[in-house]
Amino acid sequence: MYPLENQFLESYRLYVQGALSYYTHTYLIQNNRDQAYIIVREFISPDISHTSAKLNKTLTFPIDQNQWKKIKYSIRRNCFWTNSLNKKPSSCLDSNDYFLEAYDPRRENCANEYYHADAWGSCDKTDLWKIYKVILEKVDSKKLHY
């Protein structure tokens, strides 16, 4: 997987890994001014340790500019750019782990940063978890394994 900061576009990438699942999903959200889209990559592992995961499928979901703005608003409203990655996500039974990274080449965010990342667990039910729910609304999850 390539570093997000090598992109020329404003980009967000969300990793979702289930503790008791053989699947890991990445969601790359970008807007090239003509079209916004979410690229979902689904990886499958022969065991739940995820040490030798292989790409299972790639799906692209176009989103309109209003959906793009809703995702950006969710990220901004939930203070993503100012959260600290120093805290360890909490764990719970059957938990998912989430990792969201963002790249903003124009630095049009409250922290005036190019790049930021944060992680959390599904038991945290924080504002960051709400960002995941907004992104998930935009993809056809029937085509994915969870």
Alpha helices in the chain (DSSP H): 65-77, 127-136
Instruction: Tell whether the model's pLDDT for residue 25 goes beyond 80.
Output: yes
Q: 53 falls in which pLDDT band (50, 70, 90)?
A: confident
Q: Where are the domains of the chain?
A: 4-143
Tell me the CA distances in angstroms from 67 to 10, 20, 28, 127, 134, one per residue in order.
15, 31, 14, 19, 9
pLDDT for 40: 92
pLDDT tens digits, one per residue of 69-105: 888 888 887 778 887 665 555 556 557 788 889 999 8
Sequence-ordered list of residues with C-beta below 8 angstroms from that of 125, at least 6 positions apart, any chain = none
pLDDT for 29: 92
pLDDT tens digits, one per residue of 116-126: 888 777 665 66
pLDDT for 146: 54
Instruction: Tell whether the model's pLDDT for residue 58 goes beyond 90.
Output: yes
> Could you give the 3-state DSSP secondary structure of residue 39?
strand
Domain 4-143 falls under CATH 3.30.1560: yes
What's the CA gap between 12 and 41, in Å, rounded?
14
29-33, 42-46, 62-66, 82-86, range with the lowest pLDDT = 82-86
> Which tokens hold the place of 123?
């038991």
SS3 content of the chain, % helix, strand, coil (to 5): 20, 35, 45
